[in-house]
A and B are shown apart, each in its own frame.
Chain A
Amino acid sequence: MDATGWRRLSAVRISTPIRARLSAVPVSGSVVGIHAAAVNLLLAGELVTVAQERLGGLPMGIAVGGTTTFDRLGVHTGLLVLGDAERLLLPDARLRVDLGQAVSWSPHLPAFAVPDGRQRSERFALALRLAAPLASTIGFGPLLRALADEEPARLAPVGAEAAAALAATIAFLERGEVGQGAVAAATLIGQGPGATPSGDDLLVGLLAGLAATRQHGAARFAELLAAQARGRTTRPGEAFLLHAGRLEFSERTIGMTGALLGHGVEGLEGAIRETCGWGASSGVDLLTGLLVGIAADLPPLASALRRIAAEAVAA
């Protein structure tokens, strides 16, 4: 707290799209969500998340150092927020976030070297094997386990429908029908528990996987899918999808994608363990989508998804 009674937080990193937005023109908005590790602001119609640095870079994010607990700062939903290139101010909470020293971080997906089909197949199988025992019982954890061929019979209808939607999406993409693919995938938007529903996490992973492996029509597919997110999911879910539509992802997603496509498999197990630990099911949901994305053009995946969907329906 400074001499004037204002609490000051120092941002250490800021995503390039948010820096660009705040630098262009001063904005105002309000607080729309508060969690222990982050606070969500709606600034000029766009979600901006101020979060603890430990969450890593977020495409819509500003990271502050230390272990600030945001739900202990007297911040409430609806409070006025003012922002510009130098600071964010919440006058009614006497809170100021200094942005001047924050380093810019780009959420744009880097151009990874893409392994050939055989290597990707092997990596896909290994990742599934490593992730299956860690998969949560909620969200799309059961779908991931079914893909690893461990418990296909236990898939609930929601998981089976997701498998069917992903199988259809892949089939459309294979035929070059990108728009139809986006419509099929959009059935998963907003589906499942949490402030970022499982379906959104899965789709963000899918878009990252497709784009990172430079699959045909990936960028257009991302754009069309993201366009359908508005109003169909929570604000954080929508924000993640809108950024993914521009091939912007969280640092964690980018890191996991890199671990999957990297030269060796040394860091893969650790990366999967870490990813599977995010939230109640967010990491597992994202990883499921990511794996489907990187293997989308490999024939065994589509047939596995169709089989899972059919078996669940039959059961």
Chain B
Amino acid sequence: MSVVRQRVFRNAYRDSVELMRIASEIEQLAGIARAGLVMATPANLAILAEAGLAEGLDTTVGPNDMVVALRADEPPNADAALERVAALMKAAEAEEPGDGARFVPTTLNEAVVELPDANLALISTPGGYATAEALKALKLGMHVFLFSDNVSVDDEIELKETGRRLGRLVMGPDCGTAIIDGIPLGFANAVRRGPIGLVGASGTGLQQVTCLIDAFGGGVSQAIGVGGRDLHEEIGGAMMLSALAWLADDPGTSVIVLISKPPAATVMTAVLSSAATCGKPVVINFLGGDPQSITAVGCHPAATFEDAARLAVELSGVAATAKSDEADPGPAVAQAARALSTGQAGIIGLFSGGSLAGEAKLVLKGMLGAAPPPRIIDLGDDEYTVGRPHPMIDPRLRSEKIAEVGQDPSVGILLLDIVLGRGSHPDPAGALVPAITAAREAARRDGRGLAVVASVCGTPVDPQGLERQRAVLVQAGALLAESNARAARLAGLIAQQAAQRGSGA
């Protein structure tokens, strides 16, 4: 027996993106079968009525009122969900200071008056305005963390040249993460402080390495993002070189880690030359790059993010803890492969982190032999994020895609990354569980199996709780690996065994 409940918010306008976020959270609550948040126009009321959600609705509502309508399994769950909506709406309003509230600056100049000692500006305006704001900040003597994307290459060159001239860092554009003096910026994890300094042109790559450093018992002095294009020919690695020099001079840093896709050839030479002469051990993870050129200059190559973290921790004088030594995956692999049907050796990776997707591709490359090539999808790519929030914030698109996987008889292994930390969804694993369960159930009904392999990028003190997130996934039947690279390898091993069974080998 289900119940229908509504709540009306009079004269309440909310941006569509905000409504989507609230609807997404409400649909994940216990016992909620359906929820709608709409402006009460006649057309929308008709749709609510058709969906059976308008029963008992206040007849005085008008087009400028917002209606939340939901169907729940029992009244307490419905009431709890409506309370949650009210709290979310109120939280949004609370961010709007009223008369007499604390002054909130609306320009950089006003901000500097308020906080004259500030030396870093975080800029997250639309790309078209970002360059001007960043230049202003640099000229005011600040370092810049530039979260904005859609900044042209020419503007990036100008910003970074200005930054170098003024002795300031320009982290970005499109910089997703940094930890400066222990303060997380953008998407970042709560990691232990220590002597390892990182520079990365890769957002989730930087997050993965910092989390694994934490897991292995090490600590982070600074994690400096430089934006994904920094090591392109045109930009010349300007900020990786600057950040490297900063870390070389930083007394709190004894080991340096550089993370990127392979740089342009000329940039590679410049970076390696600076790394070789910086006076501190440097671990370099140029995903898929040539390790020999790194070894040749006396630096330490790392093939994966995990290797980079482990090497850095060891070089910092800490014996990497046993956390990384997982049990032999053999039995789990064999069991998972046995549950798959003949011909079900395909891997699909649905990733929220672009660098993690890149690493998984690389690990799986050449590993699969007779098995079909993996389909690794970065759902944070522009192609998937137009009109909706990033999958690290909003899990709905990934849930839809996971549910579709259950219908595909060629897929035997679903590979996932779960990224925790500030800025990420409050319960990213929990949000995916209904879809994982539905996909496994759909496969089972069809007489097939579906192995779900995942890794969680996070730390025990992240707001979402590493162990809590892992437990949720295990409960949903997922095989967990300690790192993204290991998860990809685990998926590859299952695919290999399934393919061998299929070919009768």
Contacts and interface: CB of A to CB of B under 8 A. Distances in A.
B170 interface: no
B43 A199 contact: yes
19 contacts: A33-B13, A34-B96, A54-B126, A54-B129, A66-B107, A67-B133, A69-B106, A73-B106, A74-B98, A76-B96, A77-B11, A136-B386, A191-B47, A192-B43, A193-B19, A195-B13, A231-B62, A277-B386, A277-B387
Given A32-B64, A68-B106, A231-B63, A74 B101 contact: yes
Nearest to B385: A277
Contact of A141 (B50, B129, B387): B387
A134 B39 contact: no
Contact of A234 (B41, B104, B106): B41
Interface residues of B, number: 40
B95 interface: yes
Contacts of A236: 13
A236 B38 CA distance: 14
Contacts of A279: 15-17, 387
How many A residues touch the partner, as a band?
35 or more
Contacts, number: 137
Contact of B64 (A69, A93, A234): A234
A34 B13 contact: yes
A281 interface: yes
Interface centre among A33, A76, A137, A194 (most CB of B within 10 A): A194
A224 B19 CA distance: 31
Contacts of A69: 104, 106
Contact of A194 (B16, B47, B98, B104): B16
B85 to A, nearest CB: 15
Contact of A67 (B17, B50, B125, B397): B125
B76 interface: no
A133 B381 CA distance: 12
A127 B392 CA distance: 30
Interface in B347-404: 383, 386-388, 397, 400
B19 A76 contact: no
Contacts of B97: 72, 74
B387 A280 contact: yes
Contacts of B388: 136-138, 280
Interface in A177-231: 187-195, 197, 199, 231
Contacts of B15: 35-36, 194-195, 279-280
Given A187-B43, A194-B39, A276-B386, 14 more contacts: A34-B96, A67-B133, A74-B98, A76-B98, A189-B41, A193-B16, A193-B37, A193-B39, A194-B15, A232-B42, A233-B39, A234-B41, A234-B63, A280-B15
A136 B20 CA distance: 12
Contact of A133 (B50, B101, B129, B383): B383
Interface in B432-482: none
A150 interface: no
Given A72-B106, A77-B11, A232-B63, A197 B386 contact: no
A190 B98 contact: no
A129 B203 CA distance: 31
Given A67-B106, A72-B106, A232 B128 contact: no
B13 A197 contact: no
Contact of B17 (A188, A237, A280): A280
Interface string A276-290: 110111111000000
A137 B400 contact: yes
Interface in A25-73: 32-36, 40, 54, 66-69, 71-73
A153 interface: no
A187 to B, nearest CB: 7
Contacts of A77: 11
B502 to A, nearest CB: 30
B19 A233 contact: no
B77 interface: no
A230 B4 CA distance: 30
A153 to B, nearest CB: 13
B387 A234 contact: no
Contacts of B326: none
